[in-house]
Structure 1
Amino acid sequence: MHHSSIRTPRGSRAKRKKTQGLNLREKLLMCFVFFLFVWVTIGPFGLWRLHRLKTERDNLIAQQVQFAKHNQLLQEKIKILKEDKKAQEELVRSELGWVRDNELLYLFHNEK
């Protein structure tokens, strides 16, 4: 018998190549998917940056709440100072060290 008389079906050679390994198109697709995953995860607009931005936003919101509270206290203080002469005098005396006419102020320094 001649070896040439024995023939294999046409598709068997292609199937044998596929089972041996990935073809170039599949390798390129896998590389593309891998790099796409890396880009989405740690790229300039990736999930890691998104997490950092959310943390920064939360910190800024907390800071804004603190500023709003401080602002409210200052507005209340301004209102009191506008309406109450005694509060004005106390502030001027304590903050600026002012005294009334014919008044003496004694300052004592703690010496250790």
Structure 2
Amino acid sequence: MAAFQLSTHVRLGDEAHVVSATQRALGSIDQHTDQKRTAIIYTDVEQAQFQIGDSTAGVIYARRALESAQRTESTWGLQHLGTIEKTLASQLNHVARELLGDLISKRRALGSSPA
């Protein structure tokens, strides 16, 4: 339920509740055994950070999402991450562009079709 609340706050652009919803969502799962859900939650947090204009935090959470998806070779997690490719492509900083390249490379390696 916590992950659903986070997704809802992200989609509504409810900046005030994103941080607390993030903490509840991450606290509700075991990050060591539930990497697929962790990747989805990190992707939702990343989307929220870009929406509120914090691209540095957005890139950090996107990197965490990618790492979580990679640990389990989760095509589901990588496909969910595919939703942010356009956002990363529009970023001018080197770190975001490097992350975009990593994401595309990992999605291709796992045979994931573009989102």
Work out whether the TM-score is over 0.5.
no
Q: Which of the five TM-score ranges fits, normalised by the shorter chain?
A: under 0.3
TM-score in terms of structure 1 length? 0.20
Specify the structure having the higher radius of gyration (Cα): 1
Higher helix fraction (1 or 2) = 2
Tell me which of the two structures has the higher relative contact order, counting C-alpha pairs closer than 8 angstroms and 6 or more residues apart. Answer: 2
TM-score in terms of structure 2 length? 0.19
